[in-house]
Amino acid sequence: MIFESHAHYDDEAFYEDREELLASFAEKGIGTVINVGASLESCRKTLQMMEQYPFVYGAMGVHPSETAELTEEGLGWLRTQCALDKVIAVGEIGLDYYWKEPAIPVQKKWFERQLELAREVKLPVIIHSRDAAKDTLDLMQALHAEEIGGVVHCYSYTKEMAKEYGKMDFYFGIGGVITFKNAKKLKEAVEWIPLERILLETDSPYLAPEPNRGKRNSSLNLPYIAQAIAELKKVSYEEVVEITRQNAQRLFFSKH
């Protein structure tokens, strides 16, 4: 069964058919799904989904672009949720310089605070980093993120940068971009990244892989991503599915 390590089924793109869609996952080979919080509101919806679906687990965190809403009270609320059994990570957290909103110091402050939260509650982190490779790495090194562990989700940087994150024993979330014809840089990185460090993800509803590029994404597209990785790594599709499932189990469930 495929392990979906990053999706947003609380998104309004799924309001009309979420029930039906998630009910179809088991027969389509999708086993476990991590629904990733991006704002306090999406964390609340994630908690509801965790209760409703046995195969859905949750990550609690606020995306860098949403950090203007964070307060000590909000952080305290996140800390409380992290004690729940089915909360298996802090995320998604990080830096986003594509959208420089809120200002960089605000993003950095809450990235640090949420990294510290993960250390405190002993959960791995799910990192969002866009156009901010160096600052993300510097901040993670300064806070000894290698002691916390986690995944750089939707990895999109170079092979050289992957080596740096690899030194901290981080995993790499690989999604739909790997199927795009122009993703040369990412393909080079994935050729280097050991299969034992790769997690499958979609980031649904965003970033649908070929041949569904541009449409609403869902975990049903994960086989296209696994197939693209299998071709790059010169291993079987089944091996990619099985090894990435084991990787996700090791990262997210070993502390429970």
Diameter over CA atoms, the chain = 49
Alpha-carbon dihedral sign for residues 162, 33, 177, 128: negative
Region of 29 (left: φ > 0; alpha: ψ -120 to 50; beta: rest) is: left
In the bound complex, what is the minimum distance in angstroms from residue 48's beta carbon to Ni ion?
18
Count of residues that bind Ni ion according to CB under 5 A: 1
Residue nearest to Ni ion (CB): 203
Which residues on adjacent β-strands are paired with residue 75?
Answer: none
CB distance 218 to 202 below 8 Å = yes
Considering beta carbons, is residue 127 or 229 the nearer one to Ni ion? 127
Nearer to Ni ion, 39 or 83 (CB): 39
CB 206, min distance to Ni ion, A: 7
By the rule CB under 5 A, 10 interacts with Ni ion? no
**Quick one: 10 or 203, whose CB is closer to Ni ion?**
203
Q: Tell me the per-residue interface mask from 172 to 211 with Ni ion, x by CB under 5 A, - otherwise.
A: -------------------------------x--------
Nearest to 252 by CA among 125, 120, 119: 125
Q: Which of residues 34-73 bind Ni ion (CB under 5 A)?
A: none
- Nearest distance in Å: CB 152, Ni ion: 12
- Note the residues at the interface with Ni ion (CB under 5 A): 203
